[in-house]
Amino acid sequence: MNDWTTSHDRVLAQRNAEGWMFLIEAARDLRTTGAIAPSGKALARALTDPVRAQAPRPLAVLEAGAGTGAVTRTLIPELPRASHLDVVEANPRFAARLRHLVTTHPDLAARPAQVNVHQTYVEQLDIDQRYDVIVSGLPLTNFTPVQVERIMARYMELLHPGGTLTYFAYLGTRKARALTASRAEARRHAAVDDIMAAYQRTYATGRWTVWGNVPPAYVWHLQRPLVSAETDQLEPQTDWASR
Ligand SMILES: C[S@@+](CC[C@H](N)C(=O)[O-])C[C@H]1O[C@@H](n2cnc3c(N)ncnc32)[C@H](O)[C@@H]1O
């Protein structure tokens, strides 16, 4: 067996193990895990585009909801020199896996302090730092409108003026939920979509469809304005916010 075969086999075995780990965590808690498999390469690339777009200047980057590291693995080699990446993951088993990824990644051997893994909910992240790019893998359409308001407000607060938030949403989930879930669930999903639509109207700079992911997904880029004006305030939401 040559070196290429063994390293290729190692990568396949690792992907397989991660696939199983993801599935087990989804079975434990599908609402928070948000998917039954990690994102594919095409989605990871679309999500990390703002990092490539702003290179080679040093960047502060936050990845929220990193799971087994499918997007983190694409991000690390793209980080310009002297950049910093904070990875936030709520699930302690995923966070342990991410710490292993970071401590063993060959690109970080000479600069381990470049990446920190935080095991916490991103809305509770207690950090005195602002970011040029936030990459969010959070399954927002599984959350309550109150949680989504809180997370989006925190993202905007954590961005530098001019910074970019990039996130994804699977295609067709609202229709699927309307057909299969309870009316209360369908209403919750619609209310979250309304909140996100308000953010998109105010801050979106682009949306792309990634057909090469299973399932296909939209990737959104939102930009915090350089100068925050009174008019940047989002309209108050419906009575969901007080539930
Ligand atoms: C849909 S998975 C995405 C995982 C990975 N980014 C990918 O694309 O394969 C969502 C991840 O977000 C994590 N998560 C959910 N809510 C979170 C929160 N409030 N703060 C931080 N992580 C969260 C879950 O544990 C899960 O790992």
Q: Is any atom of ligand 1 closer than 6 Å to the C-beta of 137?
A: yes
Nearest-atom number in ligand 1 for the CA of 67 is 27
Closest C-alpha to 79, from 59, 64, 63, 104 = 59
The residue contributing the CA closest to ligand 1 atom 9 is 38
The residue contributing the CA closest to ligand 1 atom 15 is 32
Digit-by-digit pLDDT tens for the chain (243 residues) are 566 567 677 777 777 888 999 999 999 999 999 999 999 999 999 999 999 999 999 999 999 999 999 999 999 999 999 999 999 999 999 999 999 999 999 999 888 779 999 999 999 999 999 999 999 999 999 999 999 999 999 999 999 999 999 999 999 887 788 778 889 999 999 999 999 999 999 999 999 999 999 999 999 999 999 976 554 556 544 433 332
Rounded to 10 degrees, what is the CA torsion of 56, 61, 63, 68? 50
Q: Which amino acid is at 206?
A: G
Domains in the chain and their CATH numbers? 3-225 (3.40.50.150)
Structure pTM? 0.90
Tokens of 172: 């067709």
Q: Is any atom of ligand 1 closer than 6 Å to the C-beta of 47?
A: no
H-only helix segments in 159-239: 173-180, 183-203
Tokens of 62: 């936050």
The residue contributing the CA closest to ligand 1 atom 1 is 34
Q: Is any atom of ligand 1 closer than 6 Å to the C-beta of 38?
A: yes
Strand order in the sheet with 131-136: 115-119, 84-89, 60-64, 131-136, 159-170, 217-223, 204-210
Q: Is any atom of ligand 1 closer than 6 Å to the C-beta of 69?
A: no
Please say whether the beta carbons of 191 and 241 come within 8 A. Answer: no
Q: Is any atom of ligand 1 closer than 6 Å to the C-beta of 191?
A: no
